[in-house]
């Protein structure tokens, strides 16, 4: 196969895999709404980052806008409780993989199933669209997140040295393949 036809095959795959997400309500002891992120929501995502990352903002407005306007397919979901944004997840898709770029839940709502619900939504949406895998990076010190990802079937592939610029912490590269559940 020539490089040219391989390129066009990849482009064809990107345009044939549809990322469709319809808003839904879920009951996690109280009613939550899950929906796609809009541009006007970015300030809420940044506020959650500041809270969760103790004043740091790993993804600023420019980064979120770049993701939402970029050439790759993305799925950014948020969770609302009483019209307050309490968590979000971002996923960027290439021809085979959905890469979870970020996930954060307001401290008040942690431990209540919000992150689990967001991961379930991304996993199910990617599976239905025909993607082969999901991937993500997580701080080596974030054991709670690692436990959650392992519960979902993610396995560690490698360690990315000095991945996080704020403190040069290593990241654990984790991977999930859908064929393992078929």
Query: What pLDDT score does 89 carry?
Result: 98
Judge whether 149 counts as a catalytic residue.
Answer: yes
Q: Which of 49, 76, 137, 176 is catalytic?
A: 137
As a CATH number, domain 23-181 is: 3.40.630.30
Nearest to 106 by CA among 77, 85, 91: 85
Q: What is the mean pLDDT of residues 150-159?
A: 95
Distance of CA 82 to the CA centre of its chain: 23
pLDDT at residue 181 above 90?
no
| Phi, psi values for residue 168, rounded to 5° | 60, 25
Domain boundaries of the chain, sorted by first residue: 23-181
Q: State yes or no: is 164 an active-site residue.
A: no
pLDDT, position 96: 92
Whether the predicted model's global pTM rises above the 0.75 cut: yes
pLDDT single digits (tens) 69-114: 988 899 999 999 999 999 999 999 998 999 999 999 999 999 999 9
Catalytic residue among 149, 163, 176, 180: 149
Extract the runs of DSSP E, i.e. beta strands, from the chain.
24-27, 31-36, 73-81, 84-93, 97-105, 133-139, 155-164, 169-177
Q: 113 near 28, Cβ under 8 Å? A: yes
């Amino acid at each position: 196969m020539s490089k040219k036809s391989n390129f066009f095959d990849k482009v064809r795959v990107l345009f044939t895999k549809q990322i469709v997400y319809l808003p839904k309500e879920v009951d996690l002891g109280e009613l939550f709404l899950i929906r796609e992120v809009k541009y006007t929501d970015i300030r809420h995502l940044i506020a959650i980052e500041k809270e969760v990352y103790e004043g740091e903002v790993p993804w600023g407005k420019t980064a979120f806008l770049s993701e939402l306007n970029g050439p790759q397919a993305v799925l950014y979901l948020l969770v609302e409780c009483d019209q307050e944004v309490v968590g979000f997840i971002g996923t960027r898709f290439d021809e085979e993989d959905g890469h979870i770029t970020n996930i954060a839940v307001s401290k008040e709502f942690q431990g209540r199933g919000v992150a689990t619900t967001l991961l379930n939504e991304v996993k199910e949406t990617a599976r239905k669209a025909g993607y082969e895998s999901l991937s993500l990076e997580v701080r080596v010190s974030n054991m709670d997140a690692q436990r959650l990802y392992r519960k979902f079937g993610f396995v560690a592939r490698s360690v990315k040295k000095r991945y996080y610029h704020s403190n040069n912490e290593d990241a654990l590269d984790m991977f999930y393949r859908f064929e393992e559940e078929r």
